[in-house]
Amino acid sequence: MITVEGLTKTYGRFVAVDDVTFTCRPGRVTGFLGPNGAGKSTTMRIMVGLTPATRGQVRIGGHHYTDLPNPGRHVGVLLDASAQHAGRTGREVLTIGTETLGLPRRRVDEMLELVSLSPAEAKRRVRNYSLGMRQRLGIAHALLGDPSILVLDEPANGLDPAGIHWMRGLLRRFAERGGTVLLSSHLLHEVERIADELILIGQGRVVSQGTKEELLSTRGAFVKAVEVEALRDALAREGVHAVPSGEGLRSDAEPLQVGKVAAENAITLVELRPAEGAGLEELFLQLTGDTQRDGQPPQDNPQTSQTSQTPQTGQTGQTGQTGQIEGALA
Protein backbone atom coordinates (compact mmCIF):
# COMPACT_ATOMS: atom_id res chain seq x y z
CA MET A 1 0.00 0.00 0.00
CA ILE A 2 1.38 3.35 -1.04
CA THR A 3 -0.47 6.47 0.04
CA VAL A 4 0.43 9.80 -1.51
CA GLU A 5 -1.24 12.79 0.13
CA GLY A 6 -1.21 16.32 -1.20
CA LEU A 7 2.32 15.93 -2.50
CA THR A 8 3.82 19.15 -3.87
CA LYS A 9 7.33 19.90 -5.06
CA THR A 10 8.38 23.31 -6.28
CA TYR A 11 11.67 24.49 -7.73
CA GLY A 12 11.62 28.22 -7.30
CA ARG A 13 8.44 29.25 -9.11
CA PHE A 14 8.21 26.05 -11.12
CA VAL A 15 5.76 23.54 -9.71
CA ALA A 16 7.00 20.06 -10.65
CA VAL A 17 4.47 18.14 -8.59
CA ASP A 18 1.22 19.90 -7.73
CA ASP A 19 -0.93 18.57 -4.90
CA VAL A 20 -0.78 14.95 -6.03
CA THR A 21 -2.92 12.45 -4.12
CA PHE A 22 -3.40 8.79 -4.92
CA THR A 23 -3.26 5.32 -3.44
CA CYS A 24 -1.71 2.12 -4.74
CA ARG A 25 -3.42 -0.95 -3.35
CA PRO A 26 -2.04 -4.42 -2.69
CA GLY A 27 -2.87 -6.96 -5.35
CA ARG A 28 -3.03 -4.31 -8.06
CA VAL A 29 -0.59 -3.01 -10.63
CA THR A 30 -0.93 0.76 -10.73
CA GLY A 31 0.29 2.55 -13.82
CA PHE A 32 1.54 6.10 -13.45
CA LEU A 33 1.07 7.58 -16.89
CA GLY A 34 2.07 10.95 -18.23
CA PRO A 35 4.24 12.65 -20.80
CA ASN A 36 7.92 13.28 -20.14
CA GLY A 37 8.40 15.99 -17.55
CA ALA A 38 4.95 15.53 -16.05
CA GLY A 39 6.35 14.91 -12.56
CA LYS A 40 6.32 11.09 -12.42
CA SER A 41 10.00 10.64 -11.61
CA THR A 42 10.00 13.49 -9.11
CA THR A 43 7.03 11.93 -7.31
CA MET A 44 8.82 8.58 -7.21
CA ARG A 45 12.07 10.12 -5.97
CA ILE A 46 10.15 11.84 -3.18
CA MET A 47 8.57 8.46 -2.28
CA VAL A 48 11.94 6.93 -1.50
CA GLY A 49 13.47 9.95 0.21
CA LEU A 50 15.87 11.03 -2.54
CA THR A 51 14.09 14.35 -3.05
CA PRO A 52 12.54 16.33 -0.21
CA ALA A 53 8.88 17.25 -0.69
CA THR A 54 7.82 20.88 -0.44
CA ARG A 55 4.44 19.84 1.01
CA GLY A 56 2.50 16.67 1.55
CA GLN A 57 3.72 13.20 2.33
CA VAL A 58 4.04 9.65 1.14
CA ARG A 59 3.41 6.67 3.36
CA ILE A 60 4.49 3.20 2.43
CA GLY A 61 2.58 0.59 4.39
CA GLY A 62 1.90 3.33 6.93
CA HIS A 63 5.56 4.36 7.25
CA HIS A 64 7.75 7.08 5.86
CA TYR A 65 10.25 5.38 3.60
CA THR A 66 13.20 6.85 5.46
CA ASP A 67 11.92 5.32 8.73
CA LEU A 68 12.14 1.78 7.37
CA PRO A 69 15.07 0.01 9.08
CA ASN A 70 16.02 -1.88 5.92
CA PRO A 71 13.83 -0.48 3.15
CA GLY A 72 15.07 -2.86 0.47
CA ARG A 73 13.45 -5.75 2.34
CA HIS A 74 10.01 -4.19 1.90
CA VAL A 75 10.16 -1.90 -1.09
CA GLY A 76 11.85 -2.79 -4.36
CA VAL A 77 12.90 0.33 -6.20
CA LEU A 78 14.09 0.87 -9.76
CA LEU A 79 14.34 4.55 -10.62
CA ASP A 80 16.86 4.50 -13.45
CA ALA A 81 18.30 1.34 -14.95
CA SER A 82 21.29 3.30 -16.24
CA ALA A 83 22.25 4.53 -12.77
CA GLN A 84 24.74 1.72 -12.25
CA HIS A 85 28.51 1.82 -12.25
CA ALA A 86 29.48 1.07 -15.85
CA GLY A 87 32.62 -0.72 -14.69
CA ARG A 88 30.87 -3.26 -12.48
CA THR A 89 29.60 -6.57 -13.75
CA GLY A 90 25.90 -7.33 -13.52
CA ARG A 91 26.66 -9.96 -10.90
CA GLU A 92 28.69 -7.45 -8.85
CA VAL A 93 25.81 -4.94 -8.88
CA LEU A 94 23.52 -7.56 -7.38
CA THR A 95 26.19 -8.76 -4.95
CA ILE A 96 26.56 -5.25 -3.53
CA GLY A 97 22.77 -5.18 -3.12
CA THR A 98 22.63 -8.51 -1.25
CA GLU A 99 25.54 -7.44 0.97
CA THR A 100 23.80 -4.20 1.89
CA LEU A 101 20.48 -5.90 2.57
CA GLY A 102 22.11 -8.72 4.52
CA LEU A 103 20.94 -11.54 2.26
CA PRO A 104 22.61 -14.83 1.37
CA ARG A 105 24.75 -14.76 -1.76
CA ARG A 106 22.59 -17.37 -3.53
CA ARG A 107 19.96 -14.66 -3.90
CA VAL A 108 22.12 -13.21 -6.69
CA ASP A 109 21.84 -16.38 -8.79
CA GLU A 110 18.14 -16.72 -8.07
CA MET A 111 17.46 -13.18 -9.29
CA LEU A 112 19.69 -13.55 -12.35
CA GLU A 113 17.71 -16.63 -13.29
CA LEU A 114 14.40 -14.89 -12.63
CA VAL A 115 15.19 -12.08 -15.08
CA SER A 116 16.84 -14.44 -17.58
CA LEU A 117 20.33 -12.98 -17.49
CA SER A 118 22.69 -15.84 -18.35
CA PRO A 119 25.84 -16.49 -16.28
CA ALA A 120 27.91 -15.22 -19.21
CA GLU A 121 25.87 -12.00 -19.40
CA ALA A 122 26.15 -11.54 -15.63
CA LYS A 123 29.94 -11.55 -15.96
CA ARG A 124 29.90 -8.70 -18.45
CA ARG A 125 30.31 -5.12 -17.36
CA VAL A 126 27.18 -2.97 -17.25
CA ARG A 127 28.67 -0.58 -19.83
CA ASN A 128 28.27 -3.38 -22.38
CA TYR A 129 24.62 -3.98 -21.52
CA SER A 130 21.76 -2.95 -23.78
CA LEU A 131 19.04 -0.83 -22.17
CA GLY A 132 16.81 -3.91 -22.07
CA MET A 133 19.46 -5.87 -20.17
CA ARG A 134 19.92 -2.97 -17.76
CA GLN A 135 16.19 -2.96 -17.12
CA ARG A 136 16.28 -6.70 -16.37
CA LEU A 137 19.21 -6.16 -14.03
CA GLY A 138 17.35 -3.29 -12.39
CA ILE A 139 14.26 -5.46 -11.89
CA ALA A 140 16.47 -8.20 -10.40
CA HIS A 141 17.98 -5.60 -8.05
CA ALA A 142 14.55 -4.34 -7.02
CA LEU A 143 13.38 -7.88 -6.23
CA LEU A 144 16.50 -8.89 -4.24
CA GLY A 145 14.99 -8.29 -0.82
CA ASP A 146 11.72 -10.12 -1.63
CA PRO A 147 9.71 -6.92 -1.17
CA SER A 148 5.93 -6.61 -0.96
CA ILE A 149 5.92 -3.25 -2.76
CA LEU A 150 7.54 -2.31 -6.05
CA VAL A 151 8.24 1.21 -7.30
CA LEU A 152 9.49 1.15 -10.90
CA ASP A 153 10.19 4.20 -13.03
CA GLU A 154 9.82 3.47 -16.75
CA PRO A 155 10.73 -0.21 -16.32
CA ALA A 156 9.52 -1.20 -19.79
CA ASN A 157 11.67 1.43 -21.48
CA GLY A 158 14.09 -0.35 -23.79
CA LEU A 159 12.36 -3.71 -23.57
CA ASP A 160 11.27 -5.40 -26.78
CA PRO A 161 7.66 -6.63 -27.10
CA ALA A 162 8.67 -10.03 -25.73
CA GLY A 163 10.35 -8.28 -22.81
CA ILE A 164 7.23 -6.25 -22.09
CA HIS A 165 5.19 -9.47 -22.20
CA TRP A 166 7.62 -11.03 -19.74
CA MET A 167 7.44 -8.05 -17.41
CA ARG A 168 3.66 -8.09 -17.51
CA GLY A 169 3.68 -11.73 -16.40
CA LEU A 170 6.21 -11.04 -13.66
CA LEU A 171 4.33 -8.05 -12.24
CA ARG A 172 0.98 -9.84 -12.57
CA ARG A 173 2.26 -12.79 -10.49
CA PHE A 174 3.78 -10.35 -8.00
CA ALA A 175 0.43 -8.58 -7.58
CA GLU A 176 -1.49 -11.86 -7.37
CA ARG A 177 0.61 -12.82 -4.37
CA GLY A 178 -0.63 -9.64 -2.67
CA GLY A 179 2.14 -7.31 -3.78
CA THR A 180 1.66 -3.62 -4.56
CA VAL A 181 3.14 -2.32 -7.81
CA LEU A 182 3.55 1.26 -8.97
CA LEU A 183 5.14 1.65 -12.37
CA SER A 184 5.46 4.73 -14.50
CA SER A 185 5.43 5.10 -18.24
CA HIS A 186 5.06 7.79 -20.85
CA LEU A 187 3.67 5.27 -23.32
CA LEU A 188 -0.04 4.57 -23.13
CA HIS A 189 -0.07 1.24 -24.96
CA GLU A 190 2.70 -0.03 -22.71
CA VAL A 191 0.99 0.79 -19.44
CA GLU A 192 -2.36 -0.31 -20.86
CA ARG A 193 -0.97 -3.80 -21.25
CA ILE A 194 0.50 -4.07 -17.76
CA ALA A 195 -1.57 -2.03 -15.30
CA ASP A 196 -4.92 -2.60 -13.60
CA GLU A 197 -5.27 0.93 -12.31
CA LEU A 198 -4.15 4.09 -13.98
CA ILE A 199 -3.16 7.48 -12.70
CA LEU A 200 -2.78 10.12 -15.38
CA ILE A 201 -0.51 13.02 -14.59
CA GLY A 202 0.25 16.12 -16.61
CA GLN A 203 2.17 19.25 -15.62
CA GLY A 204 2.47 17.95 -12.09
CA ARG A 205 -1.26 17.41 -11.55
CA VAL A 206 -3.28 14.22 -11.45
CA VAL A 207 -5.66 14.60 -14.37
CA SER A 208 -7.56 11.39 -14.05
CA GLN A 209 -7.41 8.14 -12.15
CA GLY A 210 -9.33 4.92 -11.95
CA THR A 211 -9.33 1.34 -13.06
CA LYS A 212 -8.24 0.60 -16.57
CA GLU A 213 -11.75 -0.63 -17.46
CA GLU A 214 -13.24 2.59 -16.16
CA LEU A 215 -10.85 4.80 -18.07
CA LEU A 216 -10.89 2.75 -21.25
CA SER A 217 -14.64 2.28 -21.24
CA THR A 218 -16.43 3.12 -24.44
CA ARG A 219 -19.80 3.41 -22.74
CA GLY A 220 -21.11 6.58 -21.25
CA ALA A 221 -20.95 10.19 -22.24
CA PHE A 222 -18.50 13.00 -22.58
CA VAL A 223 -19.87 16.29 -21.36
CA LYS A 224 -18.60 19.82 -21.09
CA ALA A 225 -20.49 22.27 -18.94
CA VAL A 226 -20.07 25.82 -17.77
CA GLU A 227 -20.63 24.65 -14.18
CA VAL A 228 -18.47 21.52 -14.22
CA GLU A 229 -18.34 21.03 -10.47
CA ALA A 230 -22.07 21.52 -10.05
CA LEU A 231 -22.72 18.97 -12.80
CA ARG A 232 -20.40 16.50 -11.20
CA ASP A 233 -22.16 16.92 -7.86
CA ALA A 234 -25.56 16.62 -9.47
CA LEU A 235 -24.50 13.45 -11.27
CA ALA A 236 -23.09 12.05 -8.06
CA ARG A 237 -26.45 12.63 -6.34
CA GLU A 238 -28.04 10.53 -9.07
CA GLY A 239 -25.44 7.84 -8.47
CA VAL A 240 -23.68 8.55 -11.74
CA HIS A 241 -19.91 8.35 -11.63
CA ALA A 242 -18.06 11.02 -13.58
CA VAL A 243 -14.32 11.63 -13.86
CA PRO A 244 -12.57 14.73 -15.16
CA SER A 245 -11.45 14.28 -18.75
CA GLY A 246 -9.70 17.20 -20.38
CA GLU A 247 -11.95 20.23 -19.96
CA GLY A 248 -15.04 18.16 -19.36
CA LEU A 249 -16.29 15.07 -17.62
CA ARG A 250 -16.47 11.49 -18.71
CA SER A 251 -19.45 9.79 -17.16
CA ASP A 252 -20.51 6.17 -17.22
CA ALA A 253 -24.14 7.19 -17.81
CA GLU A 254 -25.57 7.62 -21.31
CA PRO A 255 -25.91 11.16 -22.78
CA LEU A 256 -29.69 11.12 -22.28
CA GLN A 257 -29.39 10.70 -18.54
CA VAL A 258 -26.62 13.27 -18.26
CA GLY A 259 -28.69 15.74 -20.25
CA LYS A 260 -31.69 15.20 -17.96
CA VAL A 261 -29.62 15.72 -14.84
CA ALA A 262 -28.19 18.92 -16.32
CA ALA A 263 -31.64 20.21 -17.25
CA GLU A 264 -33.08 19.47 -13.80
CA ASN A 265 -30.25 21.39 -12.20
CA ALA A 266 -30.24 24.26 -14.70
CA ILE A 267 -26.68 23.55 -15.73
CA THR A 268 -25.49 24.96 -19.04
CA LEU A 269 -24.00 22.31 -21.27
CA VAL A 270 -21.43 23.25 -23.88
CA GLU A 271 -20.99 19.79 -25.30
CA LEU A 272 -22.69 16.45 -24.82
CA ARG A 273 -21.93 13.36 -26.84
CA PRO A 274 -21.48 9.63 -26.51
CA ALA A 275 -18.00 8.82 -25.26
CA GLU A 276 -15.83 7.69 -28.07
CA GLY A 277 -13.79 4.53 -27.96
CA ALA A 278 -10.41 4.73 -26.27
CA GLY A 279 -11.38 7.73 -24.18
CA LEU A 280 -8.14 7.24 -22.35
CA GLU A 281 -6.13 7.71 -25.48
CA GLU A 282 -7.95 10.93 -26.27
CA LEU A 283 -7.29 12.19 -22.78
CA PHE A 284 -3.68 11.16 -22.94
CA LEU A 285 -3.20 12.88 -26.26
CA GLN A 286 -4.70 16.07 -24.91
CA LEU A 287 -2.33 15.80 -22.02
CA THR A 288 0.63 15.16 -24.26
CA GLY A 289 -0.41 17.97 -26.55
CA ASP A 290 -0.72 20.47 -23.74
CA THR A 291 2.67 19.70 -22.33
CA GLN A 292 4.46 18.85 -25.52
CA ARG A 293 7.76 20.57 -26.06
CA ASP A 294 9.07 21.61 -29.39
CA GLY A 295 11.16 19.05 -31.20
CA GLN A 296 10.15 16.26 -28.89
CA PRO A 297 7.44 14.26 -30.61
CA PRO A 298 5.11 12.11 -28.56
CA GLN A 299 6.23 8.57 -29.05
CA ASP A 300 3.11 6.56 -29.28
CA ASN A 301 1.09 8.31 -31.90
CA PRO A 302 2.36 8.44 -35.45
CA GLN A 303 -0.03 11.23 -36.42
CA THR A 304 1.14 13.64 -33.81
CA SER A 305 4.77 12.75 -34.20
CA GLN A 306 4.51 13.78 -37.82
CA THR A 307 2.73 17.00 -37.08
CA SER A 308 5.14 18.11 -34.41
CA GLN A 309 8.25 17.51 -36.47
CA THR A 310 7.64 20.15 -39.08
CA PRO A 311 5.53 23.28 -39.34
CA GLN A 312 2.07 22.25 -40.44
CA THR A 313 -0.07 23.57 -43.19
CA GLY A 314 -2.78 21.06 -42.40
CA GLN A 315 -6.42 21.54 -41.62
CA THR A 316 -5.90 23.86 -38.69
CA GLY A 317 -3.08 25.87 -40.14
CA GLN A 318 -1.24 25.67 -36.83
CA THR A 319 2.49 25.31 -36.58
CA GLY A 320 3.80 22.80 -34.13
CA GLN A 321 0.84 23.22 -31.81
CA THR A 322 0.11 19.56 -31.51
CA GLY A 323 -2.45 20.13 -28.82
CA GLN A 324 -4.65 22.15 -31.12
CA ILE A 325 -4.17 19.75 -33.98
CA GLU A 326 -5.18 16.90 -31.76
CA GLY A 327 -8.13 18.94 -30.63
CA ALA A 328 -9.16 19.30 -34.25
CA LEU A 329 -8.67 15.62 -34.93
CA ALA A 330 -10.55 14.50 -31.86
Partner 1 sequence: MTAVLTNGTGQAPALDVTGTPGITMARLVRVELRKLVDTRASRWLLAAIVAITLLIIVVVFLTGSRSDRTFLNFMAATGAPQGFLLPVLGILLVTSEWGQRTALVTFTLMPVRGRVLAAKVVAALVAGLAAMVLAMAIAALATLGGGAGDAWAGVGVDDIGKFGLLEASGVLQGLAFGLLFLSSAAAIVTFFVLPTAFTIVASLWGTLHKAAPWVDLSTSQQPLFDSGHMSGHEWLHLASGTAIWVLLPFVLGLVRVLRAEVK
Whole-angstrom Cα distance, residue 305 to residue 302? 5
Amino acid at 302: P
Minimum CB–partner distance for residue 301 and partner 1 (Å): 29
Q: Which is nearer to partner 1, 85 or 273 (by Cβ)?
A: 85
CB 191 within 8 A of CB 30: no
Whole-angstrom Cα distance, residue 13 to residue 141? 36
Q: Which is nearer to partner 1, 130 or 218 (by Cβ)?
A: 130
Minimum CB–partner distance for residue 257 and partner 1 (Å): 31
Minimum CB–partner distance for residue 264 and partner 1 (Å): 34
Q: Which is nearer to partner 1, 16 or 201 (by Cβ)?
A: 16
Kindly give the residue spans of alpha helices, DSSP state H, lying in the chain: 40-47, 90-101, 106-114, 119-122, 131-143, 161-176, 188-194, 212-216, 228-237, 255-264, 279-291, 302-309, 322-329
Cβ neighbours of 219 (radius 10 Å) = 11
Q: Which is nearer to partner 1, 85 or 219 (by Cβ)?
A: 85
Q: Which is nearer to partner 1, 57 or 268 (by Cβ)?
A: 57
Residues in the chain: 330
Q: Which residues pair with 202 in a beta bridge?
A: 205
Q: Which residues pair with 10 in a beta bridge?
A: 15
CB 75 within 8 A of CB 65: yes
Minimum CB–partner distance for residue 59 and partner 1 (Å): 7
Q: Which is nearer to partner 1, 147 or 297 (by Cβ)?
A: 147
Residue 287 backbone dihedrals phi, psi, to 5 degrees: -60, -45
Minimum CB–partner distance for residue 89 and partner 1 (Å): 8
Q: Which is nearer to partner 1, 61 or 255 (by Cβ)?
A: 61
Residue 235 backbone dihedrals phi, psi, to 5 degrees: -65, -40
Q: Which is nearer to partner 1, 177 or 237 (by Cβ)?
A: 177
Minimum CB–partner distance for residue 316 and partner 1 (Å): 38
Name the 3-class secondary structure at 63: strand
Minimum CB–partner distance for residue 241 and partner 1 (Å): 21
Say which residues have a Cβ less than 8 Å from residue 272's Cβ, sequence separation at least 6.
Answer: 221, 222, 223, 224, 255, 258, 259, 262
Residues forming the site for partner 1 (CB under 8 A):
1, 3, 23, 26, 45, 48-52, 59-63, 65-66, 68-74, 77, 79-80, 82-88, 92, 95-97, 99-102, 141, 146-149, 177-179
Minimum CB–partner distance for residue 169 and partner 1 (Å): 17
Q: Which of 250, 321, 330, 317 is nearest to 289 (CA)?
A: 321
